Amino acid sequence: MAQVYAIGKVTADLKLRQSSRKEAYVCFDIAENIGGRDSRRKQTLQIWAFGSDAEQLICDGVREGISIWITGNLELEEFTHESGRTRDKRLKVYLKTWGFASDAPKQIFHEVIGKVNTCAPVIDGEREPLPE
């Protein structure tokens, strides 16, 4: 299985969906520039995340225009366009890990930090004493 590491910008806002097996998932594209100065072109990767990974992407505020890095399993998939006439291929990545790329706006990090407490459950109660 091919592994991939890529950095790109999210091309549209994410929408959390539910599969027929009642599992949360999200599917979105990231665009990256490849090639040299004279042959620079855009390549799009379709990213699929499931379960807690999908929920964490939404919770952390990933949306259109945000730069992220991803790692995952790469698959070249054949598909038919919506018109039903044209067949094509796309690069599909099953997400393993991800993070915000360094060129993401600083305010995004502040917004995400503010959301952390609302996304994760708060654990309260008495704690065991630490060993001495």
Tens digits of per-residue pLDDT, 33-65? 888 888 889 989 999 999 999 999 999 999 999
Residue 130 maps to a domain:
no
The pLDDT value given to residue 37: 82
Residue 58 maps to a domain:
yes
The better pLDDT of the pair 25, 112 is held by 25
Mean pLDDT is lowest, of 4-13, 105-114, 120-129, for: 105-114
What is the mean pLDDT of the segment spanning 106-118? 49
Residue 127 maps to a domain:
no
Residue 39, CA distances (Å) to 24, 36, 89, 90, 132 in order: 39, 5, 21, 20, 62
Which CATH number characterizes residue 66's domain?
Answer: 2.40.50.140
The pLDDT value given to residue 63: 93
Residue 112 maps to a domain:
yes
Residue 131 maps to a domain:
no
Helices (H), 77-126: 106-119
What is the mean pLDDT of the segment spanning 104-120? 49
3-state secondary structure of 96: strand
Rounded to whole angstroms, the Cα distance separating 75 from 77 reads: 6
Q: Which residue has the tokens 């040299």?
A: 36
- Check whether 73 has a pLDDT greater than 60: yes
Residue 124 maps to a domain:
no
63, 54, 1, 68: which is closest to 23 by C-alpha? 54
Rounded to whole angstroms, the Cα distance separating 93 from 71 reads: 8
The pLDDT value given to residue 104: 46
Structural domain for 59, as ranges: 2-119
- Check whether 115 has a pLDDT greater than 80: no
* Mean pLDDT computed over every residue of the chain: 82
Rounded to whole angstroms, the Cα distance separating 121 from 59 reads: 12
The pLDDT value given to residue 127: 62
- Report the number of distinct structural domains present in the chain: 1
17-18/87-100 β-pairing? unpaired
Residue 100 maps to a domain:
yes
> Which amino acid is located at 80 in the chain?
T
The pLDDT value given to residue 17: 94
